[in-house]
Structure 1
Amino acid sequence: MNAGIDRSVMKKLPEVTLAFWIMKIAATTLGETAGDLFAQTLGLGYFLTTVALFLIFVVTLVVQLRSTHYNPFFYWTVILSTSMAGTTMSDFMNRDASAAYLSGGTTSLGWGPQGLGLGYPTGAAILISLLIAVFVIWKFTGLTFSIRDIVTFRGEALFWSAILVSNTLGTSMGDFLSDSSGLGYAGGALLVTGLLTVLLALMRVPVVPNVLLFWIAFVLTRPLGATVGDFLTKPVAKGGLDLGTVGSSLALLALLFGLVAHARVQERRSAVPRNEVLAEDP
């Protein structure tokens, strides 16, 4: 069996296509609205919600790591769980339970410490340091940073560590743009979209590694999801559409489920000729 075919069988992460980025933005936006739904709308608070969502992340990650091939439902469930956990982890680090950070009509949050109140700059500095640490460790292992070539358990574990930290960092960036920069929700989303457009243009520049552009884009799609999620759910008086966390989350969940189901169908179709090639390979 040749190495190329063996790699395609072992591969457990998706191809990076336009559909991949659409699903990533949908998942991160849903992560923002769902995180706020549990922590604020339902009044569970940042602490309890963070603990619960982190446990969900661990369960979904174990399922993904134990799988023997790429399964879109497993992969995107982990992405969603990191987005939801990242939302409340960021909120817990950066915010407190003051009225400035509570949704309309909410007067208190659930049991436990309700935010460390570190602020967005301090929280972002901590998360950037953690993300750099993950990549430094990854570099010393000698494993590839390219998602299309990650085929080992250790490589996948490092990948998901980077995803969790980057989604938490992206939430902090998105909340800073929405709440503190003066740009507002729509302005923050437009700024991040502009930066992603620049990255797309840089893909045509040979001296700029595509792997570097991928990871920058992966981080930036999280603040895009955060600002879009806030734009959908926050009151009109604050610059949002006031669609609510429940309705927005359900709509985004339906969209993501449809996209993942389509990806699953495409994966099964592509698996047929792949298996035929393997059967013929001496």
Structure 2
Amino acid sequence: MKPSHETALSKVPEVTLLFWAIKIAATTLGETGGDAVSMSMNLGYLVGTAIFAGVFLVAVAAQIKAKGFHPWLYWTTIIATTTVGTTLADFADRSLGIGYAGGSSLLLLLLLASLALWYRTLGTVSVESISAPKAEMFYWVTIMFSQTLGTALGDWTADTAGLGYEGGALIFGALLALLTLAYYKTKISRTLLFWLAFILTRPLGAVLGDLLDKPLADGGLALSRYSASLTLIVFIAACLLLFRHRPAKTAH
């Protein structure tokens, strides 16, 4: 028997303030964790991307195979997308030699292509419409591209634009505040606002991650990538243990 619409959708969490708090922490962890593997361990961006891509594929397969909503599994998969996004963006920006502008442009095209193909195939890109493995695949691929694009945008803003980590955090925080205002005060598509917010939380996490682990001379707090990553893991685990996590409701 095929799973019902309600059962399939129950694997996606309800989008609340808690969701966004964990999302920002997870994206920050993606920055510190990705840098820890590719830079602190001196494995390089390509090897780091391969490692995290493997974790991402295993996590997505487990998420799709699951029969219900499991908060730990869902957020593990999100963290996997944000770590592979970090190393993949760094590889595109630096190892391919196309710079932050080129990397961001390439990743934006990939994200738009993923959303377009998703919409053309299923007729919607709303997270409330996920009711089959095919929709889940589009969901996770789109999330992975959005995380990667967010990393590139965060690095571009902090480095190339010369705003620094604090300036980048203020810019993306202000943009997210505007999206929140639009959510409550306008009738702009909730699906559009969700994906914009999802993309913008990633560069916010990128600059926050850099703020934590970059040297004092570069405007960071000079924490080790390992200690910063461990702190974020403890915060996410506390949120999962202390608060109730409900699945999203079905769109009828």
Q: TM-score, normalized by length of structure 1?
A: 0.83
Taking the aligned partners of 2:149 and 2:212, their CA distance within structure 1 comes to 21
Provide the secondary structure at the position in 1 that maps to 2:98: coil
User: Which residue in the other structure is 1:54 paired with?
Assistant: 53
| Deviates further, 69-78 or 8-17 | 8-17
Shift of 1:50: 0.7
Taking the aligned partners of 1:160 and 1:123, their CA distance within structure 2 comes to 20
Provide the secondary structure at the position in 1 that maps to 2:18: helix
Q: 2:163 is matched with which residue: 158, 179, 183?
A: 183
Shift of 1:257: 1.5
Taking the aligned partners of 2:8 and 2:145, their CA distance within structure 1 comes to 25
8 Å Cα contact 2:122/2:135 also seen in 1: no
Shift of 1:138: 1.1
User: Which residue in the other structure is 1:26 paired with?
Assistant: 25
Deviation per CA, 1:60-91: give whole Å up to 9, x if none: 11110100111111110110001000000000
Q: TM-score, normalized by length of structure 2?
A: 0.93
User: Which residue in the other structure is 1:9 paired with?
Assistant: 7
8 Å Cα contact 1:192/1:220 also seen in 2: yes
Shift of 1:244: 1.4
Taking the aligned partners of 2:203 and 2:108, their CA distance within structure 1 comes to 14
Provide the secondary structure at the position in 1 that maps to 2:178: helix
Larger Rg: 1
Taking the aligned partners of 2:66 and 2:7, their CA distance within structure 1 comes to 12
Taking the aligned partners of 2:74 and 2:242, their CA distance within structure 1 comes to 14
Taking the aligned partners of 2:34 and 2:123, their CA distance within structure 1 comes to 33
8 Å Cα contact 2:27/2:205 also seen in 1: yes
Taking the aligned partners of 2:70 and 2:213, their CA distance within structure 1 comes to 31
Paired letter, 2:74: Y
| Deviates further, 62-71 or 144-153 | 144-153
8 Å Cα contact 2:89/2:148 also seen in 1: yes
Deviation per CA, 1:125-165: give whole Å up to 9, x if none: 11111111111111112343222331211111101010000
User: Which residue in the other structure is 2:250 paired with?
Assistant: none
Matched, 1:141 2:91: no
- Superposition RMSD on alpha carbons, in Å? 1.4
Paired letter, 1:33: T
Q: What is the percentage of aligned positions where both structures have the same residue?
A: 42
Deviation per CA, 1:38-77: give whole Å up to 9, x if none: 1111111111111111011111111101001111111101
**1:230-245 matched pairs, under 5 angstroms:** 230-245=210-225
Provide the secondary structure at the position in 1 that maps to 2:83: helix
User: Which residue in the other structure is 2:197 paired with?
Assistant: 217
Q: 2:183 is matched with which residue: 203, 208, 217?
A: 203
Which one scores higher on RCO, CA 8 angstroms, separation ≥ 6?
2
Q: Gaps (5+ residues) in structure 1?
A: 1-5, 96-114, 272-282
**1:62-101 matched pairs, under 5 angstroms:** 62-95=61-94
8 Å Cα contact 1:27/1:79 also seen in 2: yes
8 Å Cα contact 1:170/1:222 also seen in 2: yes
Paired letter, 2:7: V
User: Which residue in the other structure is 2:145 paired with?
Assistant: 165
8 Å Cα contact 2:8/2:130 also seen in 1: no
User: Which residue in the other structure is 1:251 paired with?
Assistant: 231
Q: Gaps (5+ residues) in structure 2?
A: 248-252
Taking the aligned partners of 1:137 and 1:260, their CA distance within structure 2 comes to 33
User: Which residue in the other structure is 1:130 paired with?
Assistant: 110
Provide the secondary structure at the position in 2 that maps to 1:43: coil
Q: 1:262 is matched with which residue: 220, 242, 247?
A: 242
Taking the aligned partners of 1:46 and 1:125, their CA distance within structure 2 comes to 19
8 Å Cα contact 1:14/1:148 also seen in 2: no
Taking the aligned partners of 1:116 and 1:262, their CA distance within structure 2 comes to 43
| Deviates further, 223-232 or 202-211 | 202-211
Taking the aligned partners of 1:174 and 1:248, their CA distance within structure 2 comes to 18
Deviation per CA, 1:223-278: give whole Å up to 9, x if none: 00000000000011000000110110010011111212335xx24xx79xxxxxxx
8 Å Cα contact 1:72/1:260 also seen in 2: yes
Provide the secondary structure at the position in 2 that maps to 1:204: helix
